[in-house]
């Protein structure tokens, strides 16, 4: 057998070294004061005295945390004595919203299923600014109100038709609003319902998440552990990042990405 070249061999020592580096980074981020400090000076640099005063910790404690973050190359001090986040630190901070979101909904994830497309998992931090709506009837009512309030478009990805929204959607279509609907191929239409010719309709083999989007708000729900969508808990927001998460997987043209990127993992 031909021997593998050195650059493709598994190097146990290098693997351990990388894990040690990761462990060290996570340790530096594990203290709430160091996290607060990083977030405080993320946008613009600050002096030691301001940091101490703002965080309401002693100058000695401030120095200790600053030194640790400097040793980890997450921050640096310029010649004027101003502490700034390094490019490495900024890159690390950009990943924290995902952990923040997961930490906040950790208890809910016990009953939910994150078997969703990788594009969503990689950008799940965009959901960090959300309101959690609970209760099936409350959720359906919030969706109805959001569709009623829409003025430009309504985009829905769902495994089934919510009949109470059909009259609202019909009225909005008469007003000229754009409507895009994604359903599973084996969808069962409720009695008396048929898709209209002016609906932009698309089918997927399987749908495991539910998304409702207007130009003003967005709803996102995950599947339960049995794989079926949990309609008792929905994440809602009017925030731009949350909205973007629901629309696009990789930042392509929004209208096309809603059709192409919102693919359900088979």
pLDDT in tens, 134-181: 889 999 999 999 999 999 999 999 888 888 898 998 899 899 998 888
* CB distance 90 to 84 below 8 Å: no
Residues of the chain with CATH 3.30.870.10: 105-260
Whole-number Å distance between alpha carbons of 119 and 106: 20
Q: Of 15-24, 38-47, 49-58, where does mean pLDDT reach its minimum?
A: 15-24
**Residue carrying the six token digits 């004595």:** 81
Fold of 11-95: Arc Repressor Mutant, subunit A (1.10.10)
DSSP β-ladder status, 200-204 and 131-134: unpaired
Instruction: Return the SS3 of 206.
Output: coil
Q: Which of the pair, 121 or 140, is modelled with greater confidence?
A: 140
DSSP β-ladder status, 233-237 and 131-134: antiparallel
Q: Of 64-68, 146-150, 187-191, 235-239, where does mean pLDDT reach its minimum?
A: 187-191
Does residue 3 surpass a pLDDT of 70? no
Superfamily grouping for domain 105-260: Endonuclease Chain A (3.30.870.10)
Band the pLDDT of 119: cuts 50, 70, 90: low
DSSP β-ladder status, 178-184 and 200-204: parallel
pLDDT computed for residue 7 by the predictor: 52
Closest CA to 124 of 111, 143, 105: 105
Instruction: Return the SS3 of 224.
Output: strand
Does residue 103 surpass a pLDDT of 50? yes
**Residue carrying the six token digits 């990388």:** 18
Those residues whose C-beta lies under 8 Å from the C-beta of residue 48, and which sit 6 or more positions away, are: 59, 62, 63, 66, 81, 83
Considering the entire predicted model, what is its pTM? Answer: 0.64
Percent residues over pLDDT 70 in the chain:
82
Torsion over CA: 223, 229, 234, 239 (sign)? positive
Count of CB atoms within 10 A of residue 145's CB?
11
Mean pLDDT of the chain: 81
Q: Of 106-115, 119-128, 218-227, 255-264, where does mean pLDDT reach its minimum?
A: 255-264
Does residue 78 surpass a pLDDT of 90? yes
Whole-number Å distance between alpha carbons of 167 and 152: 17
Those residues whose C-beta lies under 8 Å from the C-beta of residue 171, and which sit 6 or more positions away, are: none
Percent residues over pLDDT 90 in the chain:
35
pLDDT computed for residue 49 by the predictor: 94
Residues of the chain with CATH 1.10.10.10: 11-95
Count of CB atoms within 10 A of residue 113's CB?
17
pLDDT computed for residue 197 by the predictor: 62
The 8-class DSSP code of residue 250 comes to S
Q: CA-CA distances (angstroms) from residue 172 to 145, 147, 214, 219? A: 12, 8, 12, 19
């Amino acid at each position: 057998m031909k021997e593998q070249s050195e650059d493709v061999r598994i190097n146990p020592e290098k693997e351990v070294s990388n894990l040690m580096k990761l462990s060290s980074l996570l340790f530096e981020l594990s203290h709430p004061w160091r996290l607060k400090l990083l977030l405080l000076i993320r946008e613009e640099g600050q002096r030691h005295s301001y940091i101490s005063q703002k965080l309401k910790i002693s100058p000695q404690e401030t120095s200790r945390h600053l030194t640790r973050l400097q040793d980890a190359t997450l921050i640096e001090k310029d010649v004027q004595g101003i502490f700034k986040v390094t490019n490495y630190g900024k890159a690390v901070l950009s990943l924290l919203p995902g952990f923040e979101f997961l930490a906040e909904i950790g208890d809910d994830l016990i009953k939910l299923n994150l078997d969703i497309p990788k594009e969503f998992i990689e950008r799940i931090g965009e959901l960090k600014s959300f309101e959690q709506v609970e209760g099936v009837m409350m959720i359906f009512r919030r969706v109805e109100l959001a569709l009623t309030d829409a003025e430009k478009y309504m985009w829905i990805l769902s495994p089934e038709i919510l009949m109470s929204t059909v009259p609202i959607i019909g009225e909005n279509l008469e007003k000229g609003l754009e409507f895009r609907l994604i359903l599973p191929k084996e969808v069962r239409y409720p009695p008396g319902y048929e898709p209209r010719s002016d609906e932009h309709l698309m089918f997927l083999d399987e749908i495991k998440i539910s998304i409702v989007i207007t130009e003003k708000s967005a709803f996102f729900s995950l599947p339960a552990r049995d794989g079926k969508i949990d309609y008792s808990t929905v994440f809602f927001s009017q925030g731009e990042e949350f909205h973007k998460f629901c629309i696009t997987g990789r930042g392509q043209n929004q209208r096309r990405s809603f059709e192409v990127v919102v693919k359900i993992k088979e």
